[in-house]
Amino acid sequence: MAPTISNTAMLFLIIFVLIPVSLSYMYSLGLGKSITWASVRGVIQLLLIGYILTYLFELPPSIGISFMLFVMISIASFHASKKGEGITNVRIMIFLIILGVELLILSMWLGFGMISFTSEQVIPMSGMVIGNSMVAIGLALERMKNEFREGKGKIVAALSLGAKPQQATKIIVRKIVRAAMIPNVDGLKTVGLVQLPGMMTGLILGGVAPIDAIRYQIVISLSIFICVSISAMLVTMLLYRYFFNENMQLIDM
């Protein structure tokens, strides 16, 4: 059984955050306020979600799970869509993409008996999938806007020669998807070698046998990789069209 972490220990951990804050001021990095705010906000959010999950776990699974998934997907869509400001219908498109990949992976988990339909299992695992999909979509959108801005000349030249938007942006779309997927591909290559992933570590600390913890980690690692890949591909292939008007002309974002 994992040891209980005392309030005193938690307080000292928070105090140690002052080290990077001090270094930021010492070297004029301009990150002191950001580090402090992020740390305080993170702690408050985690404490709040702890109380919320305690309440949700007492509700019937269909209610607790549905409510929490809707909240997580909505927040993820909101944050990811900030990277795509100016793109038509970007928020609703991202919401539908994340919802789709979440339902796909949840169906696989439940269909093959990997997890049970309980709030304690579905919500934490879904949170990891949704969070990573959000990051991948944000990276894809940010890279998309940069690539279209930097490659504007080539795209316009291709269009003037009679190429359709799909043909003019084929190479760019490929680069965007690859860039969004690289962090997860690299992470999957080194999982278990460079770091012990969070889920596996948590289960081991909770007293689960290492081999059983590894099975769960394999499930979540591959699930995340699948969802990130699908999310990055879908958001790129669906939203690149909004960089063109009805006359197939490139528009500025």
Q: Is there a domain that residue 163 lies in?
A: yes
Residue-range definition of the domain harbouring residue 183? 61-243
Percentage with pLDDT > 90 across the chain: 34
Q: Compute the mean pLDDT over every residue in the chain, rounded to the nearest whole number.
A: 86
Cα dihedral across residues 76, 79, 80, 84: positive or negative: positive
Say if residue 126 is in the same domain as residue 185. Answer: yes
Say if residue 128 is in the same domain as residue 10. Answer: no
Say if residue 229 is in the same domain as residue 122. Answer: yes
Say if residue 212 is in the same domain as residue 148. Answer: yes
When pLDDT is cut at 50, 70 and 90, the band that residue 1 belongs to is low
Burial degree of 48 (CB within 10 A; 0-12, 13-18, 19+): exposed
pLDDT for 253 equals 59
Say if residue 126 is in the same domain as residue 24. Answer: no
Q: Is there a domain that residue 78 lies in?
A: yes
Q: Is there a domain that residue 182 lies in?
A: yes
Q: Report, as an integer, the average pLDDT of 223-231.
A: 92
* Cβ(83)–Cβ(136) below 8 Å: no
pLDDT for 66 equals 95
Q: Is there a domain that residue 252 lies in?
A: no
Say if residue 152 is in the same domain as residue 214. Answer: yes
Q: pLDDT tens, 60-93?
A: 999 999 999 999 999 999 999 998 888 888 999 9
Q: Is there a domain that residue 31 lies in?
A: yes
| Domain end position, chosen among 56, 73, 94 | 56
Q: Is there a domain that residue 103 lies in?
A: yes
- Total tally of structural domains belonging to the chain: 2
pLDDT for 152 equals 83
Say if residue 46 is in the same domain as residue 153. Answer: no
Q: Report, as an integer, the average pLDDT of 174-190.
A: 81
Regarding predicted confidence, which is higher, 199 or 45? 45
Say if residue 169 is in the same domain as residue 225. Answer: yes
Say if residue 160 is in the same domain as residue 144. Answer: yes
Q: Is there a domain that residue 133 lies in?
A: yes
| Domain end position, chosen among 19, 39, 56 | 56
Structure tokens at 24: 């930021």
* Cβ(76)–Cβ(131) below 8 Å: yes
When pLDDT is cut at 50, 70 and 90, the band that residue 127 belongs to is very high
Q: Is residue 100 scored above 90 in pLDDT?
A: yes
pLDDT for 3 equals 58
Q: Report, as an integer, the average pLDDT of 101-120.
A: 94
Least confident of 7-16, 165-174, 193-202: 193-202
Q: Is there a domain that residue 253 lies in?
A: no
CA distance 33 to 25: 10
Q: Report, as an integer, the average pLDDT of 218-226.
A: 91
Structure tokens at 182: 């690289």
Say if residue 31 is in the same domain as residue 147. Answer: no
Burial degree of 208 (CB within 10 A; 0-12, 13-18, 19+): middle
pLDDT for 210 equals 85
Say if residue 1 is in the same domain as residue 52. Answer: yes
The answer to pTM > 0.85 is no
Say if residue 208 is in the same domain as residue 184. Answer: yes
